[in-house]
Amino acid sequence: MRYVIVGTGAAGATAARTIKRMDRDGEVVIIGDERFFPYNRYLLTEFLSGAVSAAELFHTSEEFFEAMDIRLRKGQAVERVYPNDKTIRFAHNEVMSYDRLLIATGRSPSLGPVLRPYAKLIQRYYTFEDILLIQKRLPEVREVIVSGRGLSALDLIQGMYRVGKKITYITRGQAIDVSTVESHLMGDLDSALAEREINFVHDDRIVAIECVDNRYLVKTFQGKELWGDLVFAWDNYTPNVGCLRNTGIEVKTGILVDLRMRSSAPEVYAAGDCVEIYHPTLKNYWINFGWPNAVEQGRIAGKNMAGDNEEYQIHETTLFNILGKPLEARWWD
Amino acid sequence: MSETSDALFVAEPERAHLTSTDVLDRKWIDVNIPCKAACPVMTDVPGYIQAILEGDFETAYKINRRDNVFPHSLGRVCNRPCEPACRHGREGLGEPVAICHLKRASADFGYTPLDLEIVPNGKKVCVVGAGPAGLTAANDLAIKGYQVVVLEQYDEPGGMLRYGIPQFRLPYDVVAADVKSITDLGVEIRCNQRIDSEAQIELLKREYDAVILSGGCMLPSSVKLPGMDAHGFYWGLDFMMQANRELLNDIKLNKVVVIGGGFTAVDCTRTSYRLGASEITLAYRRTKDKMSAGEPEIDCMEEEGIEMEFLVSPVEILAKDGKVTGIRLVRNRLEEGKPVAIPGSEFVIECDAVIMAIGQTNEDLPGTKEVPEVNEVPQKDNFFLAGDFRNGSGTVIEACADGRKVARRAHQYLSGIKGYQDVVHIEEIKLDQLPRTREDDFIPLTTMPHIPVSERLAKNREVETGYTRELAQNEARRCYLCHYNFQIDIDRCIYCMACIDAMPVDCIKLAKDIDVGADGSLRYVSAAHWEEAQAITIDNDKCIRCGNCVRACPVDCISISKYTLETVEVE
Ligand SMILES: Cc1cc2nc3c(=O)[nH]c(=O)nc-3n(C[C@H](O)[C@H](O)[C@H](O)COP(=O)(O)OP(=O)(O)OC[C@H]3O[C@@H](n4cnc5c(N)ncnc54)[C@H](O)[C@@H]3O)c2cc1C
Ligand SMILES: Cc1cc2nc3c(=O)[nH]c(=O)nc-3n(C[C@H](O)[C@H](O)[C@H](O)COP(=O)(O)OP(=O)(O)OC[C@H]3O[C@@H](n4cnc5c(N)ncnc54)[C@H](O)[C@@H]3O)c2cc1C
Ligand code: SF4
Ligand code: SF4
């Protein structure tokens, strides 16, 4: 049995481990487009500000994959899935067949049609590679502009604050934009932001960015002109589902899966930040977010791929509770 | 075979060429010019793109005017079935050519009044409904010498081009320009004439040699939900028609929910935005990739800050004191691709307006139900049906195609010709006529300039501003010009492999054998070594029309020919 896993994040790495524990003789291949060994993505901000070391950031190494007999293919992107032929094709055109496939491609900050033309002027904040780039640029940076929804904006603001940068935060709403799932987890953010002397631009959005003498001029819908040495901006976090386009596998924004983490195509599973699942308490579809959920979904997908039949239980308490600390504590203590 | 109308539009320079009615040649076009094959009216796409490339916008316009009648309008609002079919969009080759934007450029820079010699034939045709279907039929019949009168119930012609599609996508003067080029042919349009009684229709059938009814889909598809009588509820089509008549400029919109996923729904959201609504949500029962509105419109909608909810269906409209206060929706799951409500998943979005844009349907006009289909065209004696009225709500280009089909049948009926036949013109091309180089393959898609989002509140200001001539020519360079067929004459080939050394991509193949299917499809049985090669062939699917192979061939055995299609009458 050949299990192929696309994505070396929390969900993918956990699934690989789980499958190998249940099916010793199964062949497990895990593929990731990042150049690095799987790492703890949620610690990136801590790593950037020097609070954790590289050793703490990386949770796997070459020895780990050897010992587990898991084949890691890093730095290789999967371009397309062919569910009818049970094959995948890499960006470098290699074709690989699978018996069971897990899509655990996570999500990425995405730019809507307004920001898209300025993609080259925007610094992404999502991967270890991004952090390495930012580290290189930081000495020349005094002021940063942040515009984006969700908790990750807070994480980024906190990171920039810790490394001593002046921050302008642009939000479409009156207050920081967090989703309904997230909002009840937040303490009194506004005052926390105020304490950090953040320049808060509300009810506004970026409509244009220019690069002038190595600095960035940001123009807003309300007509403001703001300057910064780095611009972080995104409209949404979008599941990475490009390799499923036109495959017939049902996708809403994320890959639609049932509670056993099965997609609409036979033998194709999905887990982690790339999936969308109906959440009865929220009465809404819900795109997974958060490390513990990704781990849990990866574990269940792995088990079911190896022949078990377990259902994922959605509980809100697992949303962001990390390192034993509630989220507010982690970011705002 | 009779004189064709194609030559009336675009005078081709007199070059030696062959005319073929062989199915294999006809099939070659479908397989090798995918954009043309995907277009309901088979527009000569590479023909007009090459004209733009050469800076001849006028010829580009005339080709479009001939094939799709409304180049100004379609260059803006066509749903573009050609683009997903374009070879440039295939795996690994990048984005499709911006065929539609180039059509607009052909009209923006190449518009010229037509100067056709029309010989009157003494017969009269009446068209009811001045939408794209009716006007295409009118155009085609006028060119054939008929005296055509179009009766239209509203005060201006254009159908949904004028009253459905908003001006920020399609300004009225643009529609008017297309309509004028039809009336210039002598077509008479009489507005404010509604035909809806049996007596009127019978009278027309007697007064005219033929009557074509193309009344479109003027009624919103109805569903019954509680609360629809409240103030603040609109049917999508009514909302658009009123807004386009400037009748909604004073309404107060704040939070709006639009139900639907088609052109009308998207236009309703964007029109609400321009009418001052601050929170607009589009709610659609399936997923985004199933929306029938075009991708560019959906992109613009997103730019304008409109939120989207997918996999939801309306349950009830909530109202207080006769005014809409919200809408109750239910979430769907997909069962084998079909949306099915999830029990217990109802939720409410608060709003002060609900716009239901779930489709349009035709009016029940007398005598239209009994019209039988004769070879795919609804015809009863001299009475014909065309466009959305007959096919259900569709797209502009489908309406044009249907208008053309019905006009051809009406002409056949009235003139006694036997029918129509496709002929393929195959013209030999010299190397110096080839404009393409390998560099052209790497030109990125030329994006359409837009007015900035901050200026989108002006209700009727067109959002897409059009390519400049330079941008259009740059985009035209991307086209592979799929109408060129490269062939190796195997009898003369000396298997020197010079072409293989010169090829820029994997375009020339060694084959053990070539299977030709009955329908003209070719299958190459490839040879691994050149010793076992029985044939050497050019894969027109891969060919980028650079001409390197022709230049390299020492025995001059590679020929280039251009394939164009024409439909002619059989007498
Ligand atoms: C700065 C930061 C702070 C965070 N803080 C927290 C926190 O405090 N608490 C919390 O719960 N969560 C936090 N998160 C979120 C958490 O890290 C994610 O929810 C989690 O990593 C999701 O795991 P995943 O396996 O689903 O996806 P990912 O970790 O994103 O892994 C997916 C991998 O697949 C790769 N991939 C994508 N497409 C392809 C392809 N086609 N071919 C090959 N590889 C592909 C991606 O590059 C990526 O490496 C934070 C995230 C960030 C960025
Ligand atoms: C809001 C909206 C946006 C759209 N956007 C697009 C788009 O972007 N791209 C696209 O391809 N398609 C779009 N469509 C669809 C497209 O406009 C139609 O499919 C097309 O116009 C149909 O053409 P038609 O000639 O059959 O009918 P219509 O355009 O509907 O024309 C019918 C004409 O007949 C007249 N008429 C009807 N009954 C009578 C009568 N009894 N007596 C006299 N006259 C009568 C009507 O007044 C009308 O002028 C859109 C439709 C709507 C409603
Ligand atoms: S490359 Fe040009 S001719 Fe070929 S399919 Fe695309 S638009 Fe048509
Ligand atoms: S013109 Fe000849 S060399 Fe150039 S792409 Fe076509 S087949 Fe290949």
Ligand 1: residue of A45, A105, A152 to mutate (most ligand atoms within 8 A of CB) is: A105
Give the pLDDT band of residue A84 (cuts 50, 70, 90).
Answer: very high
pLDDT of residue A184: 52
Angle formed at CA A63 by CA A62 and CA A67, multiple of 5 degrees = 125
Residue carrying structure tokens 């300057």: A227
- Ligand 1 centroid to Cα of residue A269, in Å, is 17
Rounded Cα distance, B416 and A251, in Å: 54
Torsion of CA A283, A287, A293, A299, to 10 degrees: 100
Instruction: Give the mean model confidence (pLDDT) for residues A78-85.
Output: 96
Structure tokens at B210: 């033929």
B429 in contact with ligand 4, CB cutoff 6 A = no
User: Tokens standing for B456?
Assistant: 């989108």
Residue A182 has pLDDT above 80, yes or no: no
Q: What is the pLDDT of residue B8?
A: 64
Q: Is A208 on the interface with B (CB under 8 A)?
A: yes
B340 touches chain A (CB under 8 A): no
Closest CA to B507 of B486, B534, B538, B485: B538
What is residue A82's three-state secondary structure? strand
Burial class (CB in 10 A: 0-12, 13-18, 19+), A113: middle
Question: Of A68-77, A107-116, A189-198, which has the strongest mean pLDDT?
Answer: A68-77
Domains and CATH numbers, chain B: 6-114+423-476 (1.10.1060), 124-218+366-417 (3.50.50.60), 220-361 (3.50.50.60), 487-558 (3.30.70)
Across the interface, whether the CB atoms of A252 and B311 are under 8 A apart is answered yes
Q: What residues contact A136, with CB distance under 8 A and at least 6 apart? A: none
Q: Is residue A216 classed as helix, strand or coil in its secondary structure?
A: strand
Q: Is the CB of B263 under 6 A from ligand 2?
A: yes
Which amino acid would we find at residue B23? Answer: V
- Closest residue of A to B308, CA-based? A253
Kindly tell me if the per-residue pLDDT of A154 is higher than 50: yes
Determine the distance in angstroms separating the CA of B71 from the nearest CA of chain A, rounded to an integer.
27
Task: Note the pLDDT of residue A192.
Answer: 67
B52 lines ligand 3 (CB under 6 A): no
Is the pLDDT at A266 greater than 90? The verdict is yes
Name residues whose C-beta falls within 8 Å of residue A171's C-beta, 6 or more positions apart in sequence: A147, A149, A153, A177, A200, A201, A202, A203, A204
* H or E segment and range at residue B486: strand B484-488
Instruction: Give me the pLDDT at residue B194, please.
Output: 97
| Residue B399 · residue B387 · CB < 8 Å | yes
Q: For position A179, what pLDDT does the model report?
A: 56
B570 Cα distance to chain centroid: 27
Residue A65 has, within 13 A of its CA and on its CB side, a CA count of 18
CATH number of A109-236: 3.50.50.60
pLDDT value of position B512: 74
- B137 CA to chain A: closest CA distance, Å? 37
Interface of B with A in 442-501 (CB under 8 A): 447, 452-454
pLDDT value at residue B11: 66
Please tell me the distance from the alpha carbon of residue B60 to that of residue B552, in angstroms, as a whole number: 32
Q: What angle do CA A313, A315, A316 make, to 5 degrees?
A: 155
Residue B537 tokens read as 């062939």
- DSSP code at position B449: P
Distance from CA of B152 to the nearest CA of A (A): 39
- Interface confidence, given as ipTM, is 0.79
- Nearest atom of ligand 1 to the alpha carbon of A298: 25
Q: Which residues of B touch A92 (CB under 8 A)?
A: none
Mean pLDDT score across all residues of chain A = 88
Residue B440 CB less than 6 A away from ligand 4: no
Residue of A30, A34, A36, A42 to test ligand 1 pocket, by largest number of atoms within 8 Å of CB: A42
Q: Does A90 touch chain B (CB under 8 A)?
A: no
Pairing of strands B312-320, B323-335: antiparallel
- Residues of chain A within CATH 3.50.50.60 domain(s) are 2-106+240-315, 109-236
Question: Among B254, B253, B277, B280, which Cα is nearest to B266's?
Answer: B280
pLDDT in tens, chain B (571 residues): 333 456 667 766 566 678 999 999 999 999 999 999 999 999 999 999 999 999 999 999 999 999 999 999 999 999 999 999 999 998 778 899 999 999 999 999 999 999 889 999 999 999 999 999 999 999 999 999 999 999 999 999 999 999 999 999 999 999 999 999 999 999 999 999 999 999 999 999 999 999 999 999 999 888 899 999 999 999 999 999 999 999 999 999 999 999 999 999 999 999 999 999 999 999 999 999 999 998 889 999 999 989 999 999 999 999 999 999 999 999 999 988 899 999 999 999 999 999 999 999 999 998 888 888 888 889 999 999 999 999 999 999 999 999 999 999 999 999 999 999 999 999 999 888 888 888 999 999 999 999 988 889 899 999 999 999 999 999 999 999 999 999 998 888 888 888 989 998 889 888 777 777 666 666 666 766 667 777 788 888 889 898 899 999 999 999 999 999 999 999 9
For A250, which of B334, B344, B347 is closest by C-beta distance? B334
Determine whether the interchain pair A117/B447 forms a contact, defined as Cβ–Cβ distance below 8 Å: yes
Give whole-number Cα distances, A23 to A29, A303, B279, in Å: 13, 9, 52
Q: Which residues of chain A have a CB within 8 Å of the CB of B452?
A: 207-208
pLDDT band, very low/low/confident/very high, at A322 (cuts 50, 70, 90) = very low
Say which ligand is closest to the CA of B103: 3
Kind of pairing between the strands at B522-526 and B508-516: antiparallel
Residue pair B476/B57 in contact by the 8 Å Cβ criterion: no
Which residue, chain included where needed, has tokens 């509770």? A321
CATH of domain A2-106+240-315: 3.50.50.60
Name the band, by pLDDT with cuts 50, 70 and 90, for residue A150.
confident
Render pLDDT for A188-244 as a digit per residue (tens, 0 to 9): 566 667 777 889 898 899 999 999 999 999 999 999 999 999 999 999 889 999 999
Task: Look at residue A171 in the predicted model and tell me its pLDDT.
Answer: 87
Residue B548: exposure state from Cβ atoms within 10 A (0-12, 13-18, ≥19): buried
- The string of DSSP codes covering A258-307 is -TT-B-SSTTEEE-STTEEEEETTTTEEEE--SHHHHHHHHHHHHHHHTT
What distances in angstroms separate CA A37 from CA A42, A59, A64, A91, B233, one per listed residue?
Answer: 15, 8, 10, 19, 56
